[in-house]
Chain A
Amino acid sequence: MQAPDLSVRIGRLTLKNPVIVASGTFGFGQEFEDFLDPSRLGAIITKGISLNPMAGNPPPRIFETEGGIINSIGLQNPGLQDFVKDKLPYYRKVKSHLVVNFFGNTSEEYVLLAGRLDEIPGISALEMNISCPNIKREGIIFGSNPRMAYRLVRRVRKATGLTLLVKLSPNVTDIASMAKAVEEGGADGVSLVNTFRAMAVNIHSKKPELGNIVGGLSGPAIKPIALRMVWEASQAVKIPVIGMGGIMKAEDAIEFILVGASAVQIGSANLVNPTTAVEVIDGIEKYLGNHRIGRVAQLVGLFRPGL
């Protein structure tokens, strides 16, 4: 039997397989060159980039919980200029799609950044972060208000011709209306979920376990909730949904694909098992072979909710 076709289309891109490494968990790529061949990945998403450098949040920035981690890195990044100068050259050697994750503190910053990134060769797509729980300003409002999200995406859409993904926060009551809003704004795809706002307290010192008090929970602990949200979002929109939340192995990824995700992102698992992404690719291929499914695209949404 012929090897299954793992390729998927997102916007104007064709990914060689549906496995993408998530923003903030794959550094700037180079950190993983000892562990895997990045050219095997469907796409690589950068750590989030802002117009100006950001110092990040005070430590402690990470706390382990049952089946997950709470982080409050605070979007530390070198800013656009140093990203282009110091980090981008590495990605150019990698034969995979580069997706730059970016965020602004204001709509103007989002638009400006999208426009600048649009002019830089070597970038396949943009992923707009309107959902990070670790910054307090307008970002959080964009991520939880469908009207604001719609307006912002529409403005950014006009600033770039690149494939545009929007990454959603799970910290909302109605994920379907958020997904619909960014689709109407002109997004080519929607990524979800980002981390859940969370905290932990040290009962001996009576202090928070994180310097920022509140952070974002990720890892297998969130997978069932993430899966439900990806299912709801998939039913609401026609654009591709990229699902993530606690994927540790191929079986987890297949669940997301079955409920409607065209592609998946691997996040926290990269930190624990840095080869997870390639293992997931191999596992999906094997599953398709075993189930005699020729193309992974045929698996998308095959979930059968009826009895």
Chain B
Amino acid sequence: MGLLSTGIVIRNQEIRPDYSLLEIHCPPIATGIKPGQFIMLKVSNDGHPFLRRPFSVYKRYPDDHPRRTKKGRLSILYKIVGKGTRKMAALEKGQGVEMVGPLGNGFTLPPDPPSTNIVLVGGGLGIVSLYPLAEALSAGRLFVFIGGKTRNDILCSADFERLNSNIFISTEDGSLGFKGRVVDLFSFHKKRFKKSQVNYLYACGPMGMLKDLARTLRSEPFVNQGSLESRMGCGFGACWGCAVKTKDPKTPYQRVCKEGPVFGLEDIDWEQCQV
């Protein structure tokens, strides 16, 4: 029924060392998914690995998309890190891929005053899930902070250039842009954003990055939303395996897959999170 679908692999190729792009034809998800939502993908039909893997969608071409040949397709940008993604890299054109989704609560878009500043902070693959959000924005000035370990890990910068955004890049080894972490780079620039302005910030990346960002944002004039990563069992709220500690006294552990993956960074109990 509703959330189950099988897509067909259109292409699956390495785009740079360790990173691949999987394009799938799957109209229900390509049309229905919203920025910040995710899918659970079965990377193999032989039972190994046992669980599905959560992915955010990079580009999507809904049924009403003007590029006729692309209609109904979506792509996933992934890094080959473990046994799941290694199997995923072996998927071939024409193969069927089982997916569950769209899942979770996505980002809430900012209201539309043209004077709004919209800041995106992405660490590693996290920037990929911010791209559909940037595409969906209709107004505001866009500032994009992209961080990675090396220049090979800086993703999507050309995409954001096409969206007319101000791009700031950091690498931990200094091979591209600012040498250091993306949160430090953002901290360096944050005085640009005044209390008198309307400032929205969206972030996605490793938990350590989000924790640092949450600290940096204390008493800063931003409405923020962060998309969290967690190991997931089911992805649709049944197992409670992906829970994260929040400051909610009634239900301290909430599901990244269901109540999230997007949370206000100040609502997470970072002291109790393993990063």
Chain A residues proximal to chain B, CB less than 8 Å: 24-27, 31-32, 34-36, 55-56, 58-69, 71, 73, 76, 78, 211, 219-220, 248, 268, 270-272, 274-275
Please tell me if the beta carbons of B274 and A24 are within 8 angstroms of each other in the complex: no
Please tell me if the beta carbons of B50 and A59 are within 8 angstroms of each other in the complex: no
Please tell me if the beta carbons of A60 and B237 are within 8 angstroms of each other in the complex: no
Please tell me if the beta carbons of B240 and A73 are within 8 angstroms of each other in the complex: yes
Please tell me if the beta carbons of A76 and B240 are within 8 angstroms of each other in the complex: yes
What secondary structure prevails in chain B residues at the interface with A? loop
- CA A83 to CA B42, docked complex, whole Å: 32
What is the distance, in angstroms, from B171's C-beta to the closest C-beta of chain A? 22
Q: Choose from B48, B50, B236, B242 the contact partner of A274 (Cβ within 8 Å).
A: B236
Contact partners of B141 in chain A: CB under 8 A = none
Please tell me if the beta carbons of B4 and A35 are within 8 angstroms of each other in the complex: yes
What is the distance, in angstroms, from B43's C-beta to the closest C-beta of chain A? 12
**1/0 per position for B82-99, CB-CB distance to A under 8 A?**
000000000000000000
With A55-B252, A67-B48, A211-B274 already in contact, the answer to whether A27 and B241 are too (CB < 8 A) is no
What is the distance, in angstroms, from A97's C-beta to the closest C-beta of chain B? 19
- CA A1 to CA B50, docked complex, whole Å: 38
Chain B residue nearest to A61 (CB atoms) is B241
Chain B residues proximal to chain A, CB less than 8 Å: 1-4, 42, 47-52, 100, 230-234, 236-245, 251-253, 258, 272-274
- CA A239 to CA B70, docked complex, whole Å: 59
What is the distance, in angstroms, from B105's C-beta to the closest C-beta of chain A? 15
- CA A64 to CA B273, docked complex, whole Å: 20
With A272-B50, A275-B4 already in contact, the answer to whether A31 and B240 are too (CB < 8 A) is no
Please tell me if the beta carbons of B231 and A73 are within 8 angstroms of each other in the complex: no
Contact partners of A36 in chain B: CB under 8 A = 1
Q: Choose from B47, B48, B252 the contact partner of A248 (Cβ within 8 Å).
A: B47
With A76-B253, A274-B4 already in contact, the answer to whether A60 and B239 are too (CB < 8 A) is no
Please tell me if the beta carbons of B236 and A31 are within 8 angstroms of each other in the complex: yes
Chain A residue nearest to B238 (CB atoms) is A27
Contact partners of A24 in chain B: CB under 8 A = 239
Contact partners of A275 in chain B: CB under 8 A = 4
Contact partners of B237 in chain A: CB under 8 A = 27, 31
Contact partners of B274 in chain A: CB under 8 A = 58-60, 211
With A25-B239, A61-B240 already in contact, the answer to whether A220 and B47 are too (CB < 8 A) is yes
With A55-B253, A76-B253 already in contact, the answer to whether A63 and B240 are too (CB < 8 A) is no
What is the distance, in angstroms, from B91's C-beta to the closest C-beta of chain A? 18
**Can you list 22 A-B contacts (CB < 8 A)?**
A35-B1, A35-B3, A56-B243, A56-B253, A58-B272, A58-B274, A60-B231, A62-B231, A62-B241, A64-B231, A65-B50, A67-B47, A67-B50, A68-B50, A76-B240, A76-B253, A78-B251, A211-B274, A219-B50, A220-B47, A274-B100, A275-B4
What is the distance, in angstroms, from B270's C-beta to the closest C-beta of chain A? 13
Q: Choose from A34, A62, A67 the contact partner of B239 (Cβ within 8 Å).
A: A62
Contact partners of A211 in chain B: CB under 8 A = 274
With A56-B253, A248-B47, A274-B100 already in contact, the answer to whether A62 and B233 are too (CB < 8 A) is yes
Chain A residue nearest to B234 (CB atoms) is A271
Contact partners of B241 in chain A: CB under 8 A = 61-62, 69, 71, 73
- CA A76 to CA B236, docked complex, whole Å: 16
Return the 6 tightest CB-CB contacts between A and B, nearest first.
A62-B241, A27-B238, A271-B234, A34-B2, A34-B3, A31-B238
Please tell me if the beta carbons of A76 and B50 are within 8 angstroms of each other in the complex: no
Contact partners of B49 in chain A: CB under 8 A = 64
With A27-B237, A69-B50 already in contact, the answer to whether A59 and B1 are too (CB < 8 A) is no
- CA A61 to CA B255, docked complex, whole Å: 11
